Amino acid sequence: MSPLWFPYAQMQTMPPPLNIKSAQGVKLKTENGRELIDAISSWWCVIHGYNHPKINAAIDKQLKKFAHIMLGGLTHNAAEKLAEELVRITPKGLDYVFFADSGSVGMEVAMKMAVQYWKNNSSKDGTVKKYRFASLYKGYHGDTTGVMSISDPKEGMHHLFKGYLPWQYFINPPIGFTDLAGCNASLNKMENLFKMHAEEIAAFVCEPLLQGAGGFNFYPPEFLRGIRELCNKYNVLWIADEVATGFGRTGNMFAVEQAAKGKTKIIPDIMVLGKGLTAGYLGLSATLATEKIYNSFLGNAYEKAFMHGPTFMGNALACSAALASIQIFERENYLEKIAKINKILTDELLNFKAKGVKECRVLGACGVIETENESDHNGIQEFAAKRGVWLRPFLKVVYTTPPYIITESELRKVCKTMKDFFIQKETSKTESRFRKTETFRGDGEPILNKKR
């Protein structure tokens, strides 16, 4: 028995995981020599594929100087340069960068920043009431305590941690990229919430356009415009969680860019990046803030300073990987590659129909088959692996978020494999031949990869 404890898995029943010996480009190679196209970019982060020579070289070069130094009282060129680069490439107005080591912690940083912002701005009597958050059902922001509390209450399994998690406010998101009626309804709900409770809400938090681990719901850019207006009107900060959407996944470098109307840009007060930031090489997140936020932490009083400082923040190897990744993204025109991926996904998936398939949808470099029931995709992971494709379905979604370097034929193979599973199920009764990779939720309900 291996002592290794795996995520989101019932260790008693988990089938043996595939042991990966090497990885190159979009392909993972198992110890048995089997090659798998990684159709989900190792949880949506390996945007340039594995073992990229330029990122390897950048890390190597940094390693010869040092791997890590603390940012407490010291600094280094890679962190300084990366902060500058992130300010340059993100929407104008996000001018300050705080590094941490994962998306979850980057989001915790954002939440603490919002709470402390209001505290720093509060009147002398120090009565601070803004310490709650509002967010969206179907959202996912990570697995640490604060961000669990703002993730979807059901999928985030709030019942398991009842009494431990703080409670927060939730509203329903629009369902679908063109759901304008839902968009208006959600904004009305949000306005009602703010009318009643804005004085205790520090910030509204959402994943812009694409709610990933909560079930790959897309919603219209108009919703982001509405959020910005309501947050301004009711004095609530807006935190955009671009951990999954940042670096091209929705078709633009950052999803919030799609909400721009003419010359009017829609800028969150705080924006968080992770995952693709280092192209999946090393743990790193960046929490970016506007001048308004940053300035509120200035003053003579030490307590006004931002009270956070993870050991590995701004790790030099991670920053070097991120700098190389941004350079590759821009020099090799990745937005064009993403547009091509989008075309192929649209062509392959959008009109796909089969028994058990509720809907197919595509946004940017992200293609989703939503099933009627969670059990409708039982067995697809093994089915795909046998055909050389690595998938990880969860909830009711089978999806691909491929590395952007994927070739047309590789991507068509991924899509064909996803579709073939449902087609062969229709034409034969082979479903039971495939082992169910069941895990069990705390309440005993059998599930298949409940979480991402």
Q: Which of 140, 281, 334, 404 is catalytic?
A: 140
From CA 413, how far away is CA 123, in angstroms rounded? 61
The answer to whether residue 152 forms part of the interface with ligand PLP (CB under 6 A) is no
- Distance in Å, CB of 211 to ligand PLP, minimum: 8
From CA 285, how far away is CA 267, in angstroms rounded? 19
Stretch that binds ligand PLP, among 102-110, 123-131, 353-361, 383-391 (CB under 6 A): 102-110
Angle at 18 between CA 16 and CA 22, to 5 degrees: 155
Find the largest Cα–Cα distance for the chain.
73
Stretch that binds ligand PLP, among 86-94, 97-105, 178-186, 296-304 (CB under 6 A): 97-105
Sign (positive/negative) of CA torsion 346, 351, 355, 358? positive
Q: Which of 38, 179, 241, 376 is catalytic?
A: 241
Answer yes or no: 140 catalytic: yes
Among 62, 104, 186, 290, binds ligand PLP (CB under 6 A): 104
The CA-atom distances, in angstroms, between 113 and each of 75, 84, 122, 317, 357 are 22, 20, 14, 26, 42
Helix, coil or strand: residue 150: helix
Of 110 and 448, the one with the shorter C-beta distance to ligand PLP is: 110
The answer to whether residue 243 forms part of the interface with ligand PLP (CB under 6 A) is yes
Answer yes or no: 162 catalytic: no
Ranges of H-type helices in 198-290: 221-233
Helix, coil or strand: residue 183: helix
Terminal-to-terminal C-alpha distance of the chain: 25
Stretch that binds ligand PLP, among 134-142, 217-225, 380-388, 389-397 (CB under 6 A): 134-142
Among 49, 212, 226, 356, binds ligand PLP (CB under 6 A): 212
- Distance in Å, CB of 413 to ligand PLP, minimum: 25
The CA-atom distances, in angstroms, between 260 and each of 212, 226, 235, 244, 268 are 22, 12, 21, 20, 12
The answer to whether residue 141 forms part of the interface with ligand PLP (CB under 6 A) is yes
Stretch that binds ligand PLP, among 80-88, 136-144, 192-200, 335-343 (CB under 6 A): 136-144
Of 43 and 297, the one with the shorter C-beta distance to ligand PLP is: 43
Q: For residues 94 and 266, is the Cβ–Cβ distance under 8 A?
A: no
The answer to whether residue 213 forms part of the interface with ligand PLP (CB under 6 A) is yes
Among 207, 269, 370, 410, binds ligand PLP (CB under 6 A): 207
- Distance in Å, CB of 100 to ligand PLP, minimum: 9
Tell me the Cα Rg of the chain.
Answer: 22
- Distance in Å, CB of 45 to ligand PLP, minimum: 8
Of 104 and 135, the one with the shorter C-beta distance to ligand PLP is: 104
Among 107, 205, 266, 293, binds ligand PLP (CB under 6 A): 107
Q: For residues 361 and 371, is the Cβ–Cβ distance under 8 A?
A: no
Contacts of 305 (CB under 8 A, 6+ apart): 297
Q: For residues 385 and 18, is the Cβ–Cβ distance under 8 A?
A: yes
Answer yes or no: 241 catalytic: yes
Q: Report which residue's Cβ sits closest to ligand PLP.
A: 103
Answer yes or no: 294 catalytic: no
- Residues that bind ligand PLP in the complex, under the rule CB under 6 A: 102-104, 107, 140-142, 207, 212-213, 241, 243-244, 274, 452
Catalytic residue numbers read 8, 140, 241, 275
